């Protein structure tokens, strides 16, 4: 983190400048056996493409609300940072009827149809795969995002003091997300570059998004994000901790 970092998107830009090749997000889905590892550079590329989709194709801008009906997943982390880059408010688990854009996983499509604005569907398949057939009324993220630009520039300045995140009914500005993530990192045993936190927490609380994205990003660390971690026995979990060189665990 640099002293000038005021938003989560700033944190990602600093991480990219410092060490683009280091791991940032390693994702496991223990229901499917999927493992994906994203370096800072790869993650930042996904964020840039998603921000271009959000701003250009979906016409979202500062202050617009984006309801994220998604589990703890590497693509959810991408959307959280893309919203920050655009200046939109990422409303985790928010009411689609009150949102300008809704981003839905395959299990929440019916609820997402309450959104009168733009609708995006994520199949959440291994390797970012698309739906066999796009859900009616939705843009298939996996189809649309690859063609987006690799560099993102917001149309309007993103103000750090404006709302940036809503989770579990709590609203945070971009600056507050950065400040809290950094201040609370020691309680997660994140001590700086090289720290590697394994998180099995859901993204539906501040504690979950803090451990699963923001605190590792703010401290120069990385996260091993695990979905369906309860399917692992203690022996398998211990092996993962060893293999992934995990330094802290939250589950």
Does 23 have pLDDT greater than 80?
yes
Residues 133-171 pLDDT 10s: 999 999 999 999 999 999 999 999 999 999 999 999 999
Q: What are phi and psi of 126, to 5 degrees?
A: -55, 140
pLDDT at 4: 84
pLDDT at 127: 84
Average pLDDT over residues 191-207: 96
- Please state the pTM of the whole predicted model: 0.98
Count of C-beta atoms within a 10 Å radius of residue 155? 10
pLDDT at 1: 66
Average pLDDT over residues 222-239: 97
**CA geometry: angle 207, 29, 228, nearest 5 deg:** 55
- Domain edges within the chain: 8-250
Say what percent of the chain tops pLDDT 70: 99
- Of all residues in the chain, what percent are helix, strand and coil, respectively (each to 5)? 40, 20, 35
Q: How confident is the model at residue 51 (pLDDT cuts 50, 70, 90)?
A: very high
Residues 6+ apart with CB under 8 A from 181: 210, 214, 215, 217, 218
Does 69 have pLDDT greater than 90?
yes
Bridge partner list, 10? none
What counts of helices (H) and strands (E) characterise the chain?
9, 12
Class of domain 8-250: alpha beta
Residues 104-121 pLDDT 10s: 999 999 999 999 999 999
Q: Locate 133 and state its tokens.
A: 């057939």
């Amino acid at each position: 983190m640099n002293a000038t970092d005021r938003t989560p998107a700033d944190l990602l830009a600093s991480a990219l400048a410092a060490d683009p090749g280091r791991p940032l997000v390693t994702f496991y889905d223990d229901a499917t056996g999927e493992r994906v590892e994203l370096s800072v550079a790869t993650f930042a590329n996904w964020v840039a493409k998603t921000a271009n989709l959000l701003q250009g194709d979906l016409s979202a801008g500062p202050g617009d609300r984006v309801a994220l009906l998604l589990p703890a997943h590497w693509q959810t982390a991408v959307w959280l940072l893309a919203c920050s880059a655009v200046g939109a408010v990422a409303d985790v688990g928010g009411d689609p009827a009150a949102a300008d854009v809704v981003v839905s996983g395959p299990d929440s499509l019916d609820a997402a149809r309450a959104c009168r604005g733009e609708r995006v569907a994520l199949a959440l398949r291994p390797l970012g795969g698309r739906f066999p057939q796009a859900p009616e009324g939705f843009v298939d993220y996996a189809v649309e995002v690859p063609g987006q630009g690799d560099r993102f520039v917001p149309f309007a300045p993103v103000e750090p003091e404006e709302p940036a995140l809503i989770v579990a009914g709590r609203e945070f500005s971009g600056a507050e997300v950065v400040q809290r993530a950094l201040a609370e990192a020691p309680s997660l045993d994140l001590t700086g570059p090289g720290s590697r936190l394994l998180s099995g927490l859901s993204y539906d609380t501040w504690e979950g998004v803090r451990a699963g994205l923001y605190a590792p990003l703010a401290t120069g660390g990385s996260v091993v994000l695990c979905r369906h971690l309860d399917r692992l026995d203690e022996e398998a979990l211990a092996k993962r901790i060893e293999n992934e060189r995990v330094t802290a665990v939250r589950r």
